[in-house]
Amino acid sequence: MLGLGAAFKNPIRRSLLRHLATRSTTTVTVPLERGSEPSRRHKPGGYHPLRPGDVLNNRYKVVHQLGWGLYSTVWLVQDIKEKQMSALKVQISELTTYEGPQHELSKLQILRDTNPNSPGYRHICHLRDNFTIEGPHGAHVCLVLDPMRVSVFDIFRAFRIILPLDLLKRISKHVLTALKYVHDECGIIHTDIKGDNIMLVSMPPKSDKTTIEIGIDELMTLPFVLSDFGSAVKVEERSSGLIKPTDLRAPEVIVKAAWDTKADIWNFGCLIYEFAKGTRLFDSSWRIEDIEMTPPQIHLAQMVGVLGEFPRSLLERGERAKNYFDDEGHLLVGSGVHDNRLDKLVACSGHPLREIPTLVDFLRKALSIEPEERWSSAQLLQHPWLMDVDA
């Protein structure tokens, strides 16, 4: 995982990166993942059966399916009343009675109603309407949302290697602008920032398409938005419990210290590194069959190798810190296994060398191991790496 830097020294790859960065191509071909939810979950408590032509709530006519997840299916629908297209997210029925801190509808209502004049408001995938339907498998909460074209992960796959820095800067600024609104004005922590949850605003592709052509000019002019608040929590509702996919978990989450909005910033920093380098920053399954280490031990050893030692202040707050660190703050297992520093990893990404120092500094500010020293979204928006990038 951390030893892939040599692959990016290939002169052909460097040449291709320069080719893309100068926009000598006018479009990129984005592959689209198609498929439907598993049929075994069409049962009580599970998905609601839908097909094109169905009309929900006497208003929304189903056009075709856009996607699905563990807890919902998503459809393109025609709003008969407003004569516009929307995305319809139909949750599994077992979520309908769940009114706990992760209830998505309440978070979307806060995001929609708090401050429409905020700069970050336009970088959120917003709730347009909501209702509940009864079906053969129970009651289902339905969320009518802004329609989106493709995800940043889809765009990343289209470039195949890494994202050109001018595009990555633009995505970064839009996501941070969204997070400033989410964190500072709405008091919400997203907890699941990933490429699939950052979307390009535009109409979704037709159902029979397996690829879509997107103009470079579109990527540099249309807004990117943060979506899917199904795992979001209010700041006052947070705990020291586990959140996020394993490899994106912040240090404070792993050692079970209290976490807050800075956990989103860590998540964001890992994602930007992945798009800039073409490989994940951390991989907790690395050589797991060859070495006698657990995934958290591997993950923490990689963090120390890339970013340096854990500060005593964080270890003192972590309920599980003693499971992984001794009284001096050193790893109990895995010390010295990883020694690839962040600046060396980014330097061999294939980007212009003049861009590397500022990018590395930006990532360091987002990936400070001590969350109290990690920069906020507002601070990162003022970093030199994002100067002169449109919001």
Output the known binding site for ATP: 89
The answer for residues whose C-beta is within 8 angstroms of residue 163's C-beta and 6 or more apart is 155, 156, 171, 275, 276
- Radius of gyration in angstroms for the set of CA atoms belonging to the chain, rounded to a whole number: 22
Among 170, 380, 174, 167, residue whose Cα is nearest residue 261: 380
Q: In sequence order, what are the residues at sequence separation of 6 or more whose Cβ sits closer than 8 angstroms to the Cβ of residue 240?
A: 256, 257, 258, 259, 319
- Enter the tokens of residue 282: 């951390």
Is the alpha carbon torsion for 134, 113, 102, 283 positive or negative? positive
Residue list, annotated binding site: 89
Cβ neighbours around 343 below 10 Å, total: 15
Q: Are 37 and 57 in contact (CB under 8 A)?
A: no
- CB atoms under 10 Å from CB of 51, counted, come to 9
345: its two tokens:
């990893």
Nearest-angstrom CA–CA distance, 125 and 190: 13
Burial zone of 107 (CB within 10 Å; 0-12 exposed, 13-18 middle, 19+ buried) = buried
- 268: tokens are 């964001």
H or E stretch at 153: helix 152-159
